[in-house]
Amino acid sequence: MLTFGQFGAGRIGRMHAKNLAANPRAKLSAIYDLDAAASNAAAEETGAAPAPTIDAVLGDTSIDAVLIASSTDTHCDLIERAVRAGKAVICEKPIHLDIRRVDACRRVVAESGVPVQIGFNRRFDPSHAALREAALQGDLGRLEQAVITSRDPAPPPLDYLRVSGGIFRDMAIHDFDIARFLFGEEAVEVAAMGAVLVDPRIGEAGDMDAVMAVLRMESGALCHINCSRRCAYGYDQRIELFGEKGMLISENPTPANVSRHTAAGTSARGLLHHFFIERYAESYVHEINAFVDAVESGSEPSPSFEDGRRALLLADAAVESAATGRSVRVGR
Protein backbone atom coordinates (compact mmCIF):
# COMPACT_ATOMS: atom_id res chain seq x y z
CA MET A 1 0.00 0.00 0.00
CA LEU A 2 1.32 3.43 -0.99
CA THR A 3 0.84 6.21 1.55
CA PHE A 4 -0.09 9.60 0.07
CA GLY A 5 -0.11 13.21 1.07
CA GLN A 6 -2.16 15.59 -1.03
CA PHE A 7 -1.91 19.27 -1.92
CA GLY A 8 -5.16 20.94 -2.95
CA ALA A 9 -8.68 20.37 -1.66
CA GLY A 10 -10.77 22.21 -4.21
CA ARG A 11 -13.30 20.60 -6.56
CA ILE A 12 -10.91 18.20 -8.28
CA GLY A 13 -8.82 17.79 -5.15
CA ARG A 14 -11.76 16.48 -3.16
CA MET A 15 -12.52 14.02 -5.96
CA HIS A 16 -8.93 12.76 -5.88
CA ALA A 17 -8.97 12.55 -2.09
CA LYS A 18 -12.10 10.38 -2.14
CA ASN A 19 -10.56 8.13 -4.79
CA LEU A 20 -7.37 7.70 -2.76
CA ALA A 21 -9.36 6.96 0.39
CA ALA A 22 -11.40 4.31 -1.43
CA ASN A 23 -8.45 2.66 -3.18
CA PRO A 24 -7.30 -0.55 -1.46
CA ARG A 25 -3.77 0.02 -2.78
CA ALA A 26 -3.45 3.55 -1.37
CA LYS A 27 -3.75 5.35 1.94
CA LEU A 28 -4.40 9.09 2.11
CA SER A 29 -2.57 10.18 5.25
CA ALA A 30 -2.57 13.99 5.07
CA ILE A 31 -4.08 16.78 2.99
CA TYR A 32 -3.06 20.41 2.78
CA ASP A 33 -4.81 23.39 1.23
CA LEU A 34 -4.11 27.09 1.68
CA ASP A 35 -7.78 27.30 2.70
CA ALA A 36 -7.84 25.48 6.04
CA ALA A 37 -11.61 25.01 5.83
CA ALA A 38 -11.16 23.11 2.55
CA SER A 39 -8.44 20.93 4.08
CA ASN A 40 -10.63 20.18 7.07
CA ALA A 41 -13.65 19.29 4.93
CA ALA A 42 -11.66 16.94 2.68
CA ALA A 43 -9.97 15.37 5.69
CA GLU A 44 -13.31 14.76 7.39
CA GLU A 45 -14.68 13.11 4.24
CA THR A 46 -11.72 10.78 3.82
CA GLY A 47 -10.33 10.09 7.27
CA ALA A 48 -7.04 11.82 6.46
CA ALA A 49 -5.40 14.37 8.72
CA PRO A 50 -5.51 18.06 7.74
CA ALA A 51 -1.88 19.15 7.46
CA PRO A 52 -0.91 22.57 8.85
CA THR A 53 1.83 23.24 6.26
CA ILE A 54 3.40 21.91 3.07
CA ASP A 55 6.54 21.04 5.03
CA ALA A 56 4.50 18.94 7.43
CA VAL A 57 3.50 16.71 4.51
CA LEU A 58 6.92 16.59 2.86
CA GLY A 59 8.69 16.02 6.17
CA ASP A 60 6.54 13.04 7.11
CA THR A 61 8.70 9.96 6.53
CA SER A 62 5.65 7.67 6.45
CA ILE A 63 4.39 9.38 3.27
CA ASP A 64 5.65 7.76 0.05
CA ALA A 65 4.01 9.94 -2.58
CA VAL A 66 2.11 13.17 -3.06
CA LEU A 67 -0.83 14.02 -5.27
CA ILE A 68 -0.81 17.65 -6.44
CA ALA A 69 -4.26 19.09 -7.19
CA SER A 70 -3.61 22.70 -6.24
CA SER A 71 -3.71 25.68 -8.61
CA THR A 72 -1.56 25.45 -11.74
CA ASP A 73 0.83 28.20 -10.68
CA THR A 74 1.91 26.08 -7.67
CA HIS A 75 2.61 22.86 -9.56
CA CYS A 76 6.28 23.30 -10.41
CA ASP A 77 7.24 24.54 -6.95
CA LEU A 78 5.47 21.62 -5.30
CA ILE A 79 6.91 19.07 -7.73
CA GLU A 80 10.43 20.33 -7.06
CA ARG A 81 9.99 20.33 -3.30
CA ALA A 82 8.42 16.88 -3.35
CA VAL A 83 11.08 15.16 -5.48
CA ARG A 84 13.83 16.76 -3.40
CA ALA A 85 12.11 15.21 -0.38
CA GLY A 86 12.10 11.85 -2.15
CA LYS A 87 8.33 11.70 -2.63
CA ALA A 88 6.93 10.22 -5.83
CA VAL A 89 4.56 12.67 -7.52
CA ILE A 90 1.31 12.54 -9.45
CA CYS A 91 0.36 16.05 -10.54
CA GLU A 92 -2.71 17.46 -12.23
CA LYS A 93 -2.29 19.00 -15.67
CA PRO A 94 -0.95 21.32 -16.92
CA ILE A 95 2.47 21.28 -15.30
CA HIS A 96 2.64 25.08 -15.65
CA LEU A 97 1.55 27.74 -18.14
CA ASP A 98 5.12 28.84 -18.95
CA ILE A 99 7.29 26.34 -20.85
CA ARG A 100 10.44 27.97 -19.42
CA ARG A 101 9.28 27.17 -15.89
CA VAL A 102 8.45 23.63 -16.99
CA ASP A 103 11.93 23.18 -18.43
CA ALA A 104 13.53 24.38 -15.20
CA CYS A 105 11.37 21.93 -13.23
CA ARG A 106 12.25 19.20 -15.71
CA ARG A 107 15.92 19.51 -14.78
CA VAL A 108 15.14 19.15 -11.07
CA VAL A 109 13.00 16.07 -11.72
CA ALA A 110 15.69 14.48 -13.87
CA GLU A 111 18.39 15.11 -11.27
CA SER A 112 16.24 13.62 -8.50
CA GLY A 113 15.44 10.34 -10.25
CA VAL A 114 12.07 10.40 -8.46
CA PRO A 115 9.03 9.24 -10.49
CA VAL A 116 6.57 11.91 -11.64
CA GLN A 117 3.27 11.23 -13.41
CA ILE A 118 1.09 13.93 -14.99
CA GLY A 119 -2.70 13.68 -14.70
CA PHE A 120 -3.82 13.16 -18.27
CA ASN A 121 -6.52 10.81 -17.05
CA ARG A 122 -8.23 10.39 -20.43
CA ARG A 123 -5.53 7.94 -21.49
CA PHE A 124 -7.09 5.58 -18.95
CA ASP A 125 -10.65 5.81 -20.27
CA PRO A 126 -11.45 2.22 -21.36
CA SER A 127 -12.86 3.27 -24.75
CA HIS A 128 -9.99 5.63 -25.58
CA ALA A 129 -7.45 3.03 -24.45
CA ALA A 130 -9.15 0.42 -26.64
CA LEU A 131 -8.66 2.69 -29.67
CA ARG A 132 -4.93 2.90 -28.99
CA GLU A 133 -4.64 -0.85 -28.49
CA ALA A 134 -6.50 -1.58 -31.73
CA ALA A 135 -4.35 0.92 -33.60
CA LEU A 136 -1.15 -0.61 -32.19
CA GLN A 137 -2.33 -4.05 -33.26
CA GLY A 138 -2.73 -2.79 -36.81
CA ASP A 139 -6.52 -3.02 -37.02
CA LEU A 140 -6.58 0.17 -39.10
CA GLY A 141 -3.36 -0.38 -40.98
CA ARG A 142 -1.58 2.92 -41.46
CA LEU A 143 -3.25 5.69 -39.45
CA GLU A 144 -4.17 8.63 -41.66
CA GLN A 145 -6.58 10.86 -39.74
CA ALA A 146 -8.11 11.44 -36.33
CA VAL A 147 -10.95 13.67 -35.20
CA ILE A 148 -11.10 14.58 -31.50
CA THR A 149 -14.22 16.37 -30.22
CA SER A 150 -14.20 17.99 -26.78
CA ARG A 151 -17.13 20.17 -25.72
CA ASP A 152 -18.00 21.28 -22.20
CA PRO A 153 -21.64 21.73 -21.12
CA ALA A 154 -21.00 25.32 -19.99
CA PRO A 155 -18.08 27.71 -19.56
CA PRO A 156 -16.22 27.78 -16.25
CA PRO A 157 -16.40 30.91 -14.10
CA LEU A 158 -14.79 34.02 -15.56
CA ASP A 159 -12.47 34.32 -12.56
CA TYR A 160 -11.07 30.93 -13.48
CA LEU A 161 -10.75 31.77 -17.17
CA ARG A 162 -8.69 34.87 -16.36
CA VAL A 163 -5.95 32.69 -14.80
CA SER A 164 -6.37 29.40 -16.70
CA GLY A 165 -3.91 30.17 -19.48
CA GLY A 166 -6.62 30.04 -22.13
CA ILE A 167 -8.61 27.31 -23.81
CA PHE A 168 -5.63 25.72 -25.58
CA ARG A 169 -3.53 25.37 -22.41
CA ASP A 170 -6.39 24.57 -20.05
CA MET A 171 -8.93 22.56 -22.02
CA ALA A 172 -7.45 21.42 -25.33
CA ILE A 173 -4.24 20.30 -23.65
CA HIS A 174 -6.03 17.01 -22.84
CA ASP A 175 -6.71 16.57 -26.55
CA PHE A 176 -3.13 17.35 -27.53
CA ASP A 177 -2.00 14.63 -25.15
CA ILE A 178 -4.53 12.06 -26.34
CA ALA A 179 -3.48 12.73 -29.96
CA ARG A 180 0.14 11.88 -29.12
CA PHE A 181 -1.07 8.86 -27.18
CA LEU A 182 -3.24 7.49 -29.99
CA PHE A 183 -0.76 8.01 -32.80
CA GLY A 184 2.25 6.98 -30.75
CA GLU A 185 4.29 9.76 -32.34
CA GLU A 186 4.91 13.49 -32.10
CA ALA A 187 3.07 16.31 -33.83
CA VAL A 188 5.44 18.48 -35.84
CA GLU A 189 3.11 21.27 -37.01
CA VAL A 190 -0.02 22.97 -35.70
CA ALA A 191 -2.57 25.16 -37.49
CA ALA A 192 -5.24 26.63 -35.20
CA MET A 193 -8.12 29.07 -35.25
CA GLY A 194 -10.37 30.40 -32.53
CA ALA A 195 -13.42 32.56 -31.98
CA VAL A 196 -15.67 33.99 -29.29
CA LEU A 197 -19.11 32.54 -30.08
CA VAL A 198 -20.49 31.59 -26.68
CA ASP A 199 -20.01 34.55 -24.35
CA PRO A 200 -18.45 37.93 -25.24
CA ARG A 201 -17.18 38.25 -21.67
CA ILE A 202 -14.81 35.35 -22.40
CA GLY A 203 -13.27 37.40 -25.18
CA GLU A 204 -13.07 40.41 -22.86
CA ALA A 205 -11.16 38.18 -20.43
CA GLY A 206 -8.63 37.51 -23.20
CA ASP A 207 -9.74 34.00 -24.13
CA MET A 208 -11.72 32.21 -26.84
CA ASP A 209 -14.60 29.77 -26.37
CA ALA A 210 -14.60 27.90 -29.70
CA VAL A 211 -11.37 26.61 -31.23
CA MET A 212 -10.11 24.16 -33.81
CA ALA A 213 -6.59 22.86 -34.38
CA VAL A 214 -5.09 20.57 -37.01
CA LEU A 215 -1.92 18.67 -36.10
CA ARG A 216 0.46 17.22 -38.66
CA MET A 217 2.09 14.15 -37.14
CA GLU A 218 5.62 12.91 -37.86
CA SER A 219 4.21 10.26 -40.22
CA GLY A 220 2.26 12.88 -42.17
CA ALA A 221 -1.08 11.82 -40.66
CA LEU A 222 -3.50 14.59 -39.68
CA CYS A 223 -5.43 15.10 -36.45
CA HIS A 224 -8.31 17.56 -36.15
CA ILE A 225 -9.23 18.79 -32.66
CA ASN A 226 -12.37 20.84 -32.00
CA CYS A 227 -13.31 22.33 -28.64
CA SER A 228 -16.22 24.41 -27.38
CA ARG A 229 -16.91 25.89 -23.97
CA ARG A 230 -20.66 25.23 -24.40
CA CYS A 231 -22.63 22.17 -25.44
CA ALA A 232 -26.42 22.23 -25.11
CA TYR A 233 -26.80 18.44 -25.02
CA GLY A 234 -24.19 17.58 -22.37
CA TYR A 235 -20.51 16.71 -22.08
CA ASP A 236 -19.42 15.70 -25.58
CA GLN A 237 -16.24 13.60 -25.76
CA ARG A 238 -15.68 11.58 -28.94
CA ILE A 239 -12.68 10.28 -30.87
CA GLU A 240 -12.57 8.95 -34.41
CA LEU A 241 -9.52 7.16 -35.82
CA PHE A 242 -9.35 6.57 -39.56
CA GLY A 243 -6.84 4.49 -41.48
CA GLU A 244 -6.28 2.53 -44.64
CA LYS A 245 -8.32 -0.44 -43.34
CA GLY A 246 -11.27 1.40 -41.78
CA MET A 247 -12.38 3.48 -38.84
CA LEU A 248 -12.66 3.19 -35.05
CA ILE A 249 -14.83 5.45 -32.89
CA SER A 250 -14.91 6.04 -29.15
CA GLU A 251 -18.45 7.31 -28.56
CA ASN A 252 -20.08 9.19 -25.72
CA PRO A 253 -21.57 6.95 -23.02
CA THR A 254 -25.39 6.88 -23.13
CA PRO A 255 -27.97 5.75 -20.55
CA ALA A 256 -28.95 2.79 -22.73
CA ASN A 257 -27.85 1.38 -26.07
CA VAL A 258 -31.39 1.51 -27.44
CA SER A 259 -32.64 3.98 -30.04
CA ARG A 260 -36.26 4.21 -31.18
CA HIS A 261 -37.24 4.15 -34.86
CA THR A 262 -40.98 4.39 -35.62
CA ALA A 263 -43.35 6.03 -38.08
CA ALA A 264 -43.31 9.06 -35.80
CA GLY A 265 -39.57 9.48 -36.31
CA THR A 266 -36.21 8.47 -34.93
CA SER A 267 -35.14 9.22 -31.38
CA ALA A 268 -31.53 9.90 -30.51
CA ARG A 269 -30.03 8.70 -27.24
CA GLY A 270 -29.17 11.39 -24.73
CA LEU A 271 -25.76 11.66 -23.12
CA LEU A 272 -25.20 9.89 -19.83
CA HIS A 273 -22.83 12.45 -18.32
CA HIS A 274 -22.90 16.23 -18.04
CA PHE A 275 -19.61 16.86 -16.23
CA PHE A 276 -16.01 15.68 -16.60
CA ILE A 277 -15.72 14.19 -13.12
CA GLU A 278 -18.63 11.81 -13.80
CA ARG A 279 -17.66 11.10 -17.42
CA TYR A 280 -14.11 10.13 -16.52
CA ALA A 281 -14.72 8.73 -13.04
CA GLU A 282 -13.34 5.32 -14.01
CA SER A 283 -10.25 6.76 -15.66
CA TYR A 284 -9.36 8.76 -12.55
CA VAL A 285 -9.30 5.49 -10.59
CA HIS A 286 -7.21 3.75 -13.26
CA GLU A 287 -4.63 6.55 -13.31
CA ILE A 288 -4.01 6.13 -9.57
CA ASN A 289 -3.56 2.38 -10.02
CA ALA A 290 -1.14 2.97 -12.90
CA PHE A 291 0.86 5.36 -10.71
CA VAL A 292 1.00 2.84 -7.84
CA ASP A 293 2.11 0.15 -10.31
CA ALA A 294 4.92 2.38 -11.61
CA VAL A 295 6.17 3.35 -8.15
CA GLU A 296 6.07 -0.20 -6.83
CA SER A 297 7.76 -1.67 -9.91
CA GLY A 298 10.31 1.10 -10.32
CA SER A 299 9.18 1.78 -13.90
CA GLU A 300 8.66 5.20 -15.46
CA PRO A 301 5.15 6.50 -14.90
CA SER A 302 2.95 7.24 -17.89
CA PRO A 303 1.88 9.92 -18.71
CA SER A 304 5.36 11.13 -17.81
CA PHE A 305 6.64 14.59 -17.02
CA GLU A 306 7.86 14.75 -20.62
CA ASP A 307 4.34 13.93 -21.86
CA GLY A 308 3.09 16.93 -19.91
CA ARG A 309 5.82 19.11 -21.38
CA ARG A 310 5.06 17.98 -24.95
CA ALA A 311 1.36 18.72 -24.54
CA LEU A 312 2.20 22.25 -23.39
CA LEU A 313 4.46 22.75 -26.43
CA LEU A 314 1.49 21.87 -28.65
CA ALA A 315 -0.78 24.24 -26.73
CA ASP A 316 1.79 27.02 -27.10
CA ALA A 317 2.03 26.35 -30.83
CA ALA A 318 -1.77 26.49 -31.14
CA VAL A 319 -1.90 29.81 -29.28
CA GLU A 320 0.72 31.25 -31.65
CA SER A 321 -1.02 29.89 -34.74
CA ALA A 322 -4.42 31.26 -33.73
CA ALA A 323 -2.86 34.67 -33.03
CA THR A 324 -0.83 34.91 -36.24
CA GLY A 325 -2.98 33.03 -38.73
CA ARG A 326 0.00 30.87 -39.70
CA SER A 327 0.82 27.23 -39.06
CA VAL A 328 3.57 26.77 -36.47
CA ARG A 329 6.34 24.20 -36.30
CA VAL A 330 6.46 22.52 -32.91
CA GLY A 331 9.62 22.93 -30.84
CA ARG A 332 11.39 20.20 -28.97
* pLDDT tens string 239-282: 999 999 999 999 887 654 445 555 666 555 665 556 677 878 99
CB 44 within 8 A of CB 94: no
* CA-closest candidate to residue 38, choices 19, 13, 67: 13
Pairing outcome for strands 2-7 and 65-68: parallel
Position 233 scores a pLDDT of 86
CB 255 within 8 A of CB 269: yes
Region at 8 (left for phi over 0; alpha for psi -120 to 50; beta for the rest) = left
Q: What is the 3-state secondary structure (H, E, C) of 120-183?
A: CHHHHCHHHHHHHHHHHCCCCCCEEEEEEEEECCCCCCHHHHCCCCCHHHHCCHHHHHHHHHHH
Buried b (16+ CB within 10 A) or exposed e, 100-133: eebeebbebbeebebbbbbbbbbbbbebbbebbe
Q: Which residues of the chain have pLDDT under 50?
A: 256-258
Position 253 scores a pLDDT of 75
Position 278 scores a pLDDT of 82
* CA-closest candidate to residue 68, choices 93, 101, 44: 93
- The predicted model scores a pTM of 0.92
Position 258 scores a pLDDT of 44
